[in-house]
């Protein structure tokens, strides 16, 4: 067996024209707090201890980068070797490696981090951790081939419009969708503990005047429960729980191909939002 099986999304970095407003939003609704290294134009948010989960950087709204903690043998250096062997430019940013995928999305790779503060059960009023990122594309196959070359595995596909790829035991840590924009972030996701948390979050968002954009529902690929809402810049945020798990060290899995239909992305039915191609 080769490839990535212990490499997790560690944080998402977003550019925003109003860092303070975004930080206040994530503090109020997500329970995230500023880390000490924050500045006026660059805020690091997390759970008060351990590594940060979200960066907010002053600039035009959009994705700055996503970062992965590489737990596989060889660490980020091995990921860099894979990329260099394929002729991909690898840059060093502090103690991280940085590359750009075919659509221009920036990815960073680093070694072990402190995850203290994550997976705290609590009352359901904060997520457990940042879980996965989904990229929008106009050209699916070059993106899929790039991530396969990094060591990701395909878990599921939905026709020719959606691909889910894993780098841990979970169904996906990266997904790629044939979307409305040629690149950038389609959405990113936070992990909740269980179904009971969704009731807490739905009530909390409603009480705070934040509209729920999609869900609650259950995806076919991955089998996870979901709920979507938007942050002040319009970034689509997914809350997720009960994601399917794969044990690549013990079994061989073949990617499944699902029908390209609204009932694939939500088994419970209902209208799919306009920004979600289905």
pLDDT in tens, 43-99: 999 998 999 999 999 999 999 999 999 999 999 999 999 999 999 999 999 999 999
Written as six digits, the tokens of 208 are 């705070």
pTM: 0.96
Say how far apart CA 223 and CA 230 lie, in whole Å: 22
pLDDT at residue number 278 = 41
Helix (H, G, I), strand (E, B) or coil at 263: helix
pLDDT at residue number 120 = 74
Q: What does the pLDDT average to over 143-151?
A: 96
pLDDT at residue number 121 = 65
Q: Is the dihedral of CA 189, 257, 79, 62 positive or negative?
A: negative
Helix (H, G, I), strand (E, B) or coil at 242: coil
DSSP-assigned states of every residue in 245-259: B--TTT-----EEE-
Say how far apart CA 103 and CA 88 lie, in whole Å: 13
Domains of the chain by range and CATH?
Answer: 1-114+128-278 (3.10.180.10)
Q: In what order do the strands lie in the sheet with 54-58?
A: 33-34, 42-46, 54-58, 7-16, 62-70, 106-110, 96-100, 91-93
Mean per-residue pLDDT of the chain:
94
Q: Among residues of the chain, what percentage have pLDDT more than 90?
A: 86
């Amino acid at each position: 067996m080769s490839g990535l099986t212990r490499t997790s999304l560690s944080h998402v970095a977003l550019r925003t024209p109003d860092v303070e407003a975004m930080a206040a939003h994530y503090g109020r609704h997500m329970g995230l707090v500023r880390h000490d290294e924050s500045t006026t134009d660059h805020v690091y948010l997390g759970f008060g201890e351990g590594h940060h989960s979200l960066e907010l950087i002053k600039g035009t709204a959009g994705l700055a980068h996503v970062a992965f903690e590489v737990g596989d043998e060889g660490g980020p250096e091995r990921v860099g070797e894979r990329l260099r062997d394929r002729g991909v430019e690898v840059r060093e940013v502090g103690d991280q490696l940085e590359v750009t995928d075919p659509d221009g999305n920036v990815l960073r790779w680093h070694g072990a981090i402190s995850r203290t503060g994550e997976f705290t059960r609590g009352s359901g009023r904060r997520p457990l951790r940042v879980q996965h990122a989904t990229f929008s594309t106009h050209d699916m196959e070059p993106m899929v081939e790039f991530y396969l070359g990094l060591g990701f595995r395909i878990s599921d596909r939905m026709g020719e419009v959606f691909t889910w790829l894993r780098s841990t035991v979970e169904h996906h840590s990266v997904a790629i969708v044939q979307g409305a924009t040629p690149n950038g972030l389609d959405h990113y996701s936070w992990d909740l503990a269980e179904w009971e948390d969704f009731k807490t979050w739905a009530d909390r968002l409603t009480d705070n005047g934040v509209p729920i954009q999609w869900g609650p529902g259950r995806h076919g690929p991955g089998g996870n429960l979901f709920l979507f809402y938007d942050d002040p810049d319009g970034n689509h945020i997914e809350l997720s729980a009960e994601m399917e798990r794969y044990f690549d060290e013990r079994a061989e899995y073949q990617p499944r191909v699902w029908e390209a239909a609204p009932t694939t992305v939500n088994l419970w039915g209902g209208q799919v939002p306009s920004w979600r191609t289905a």
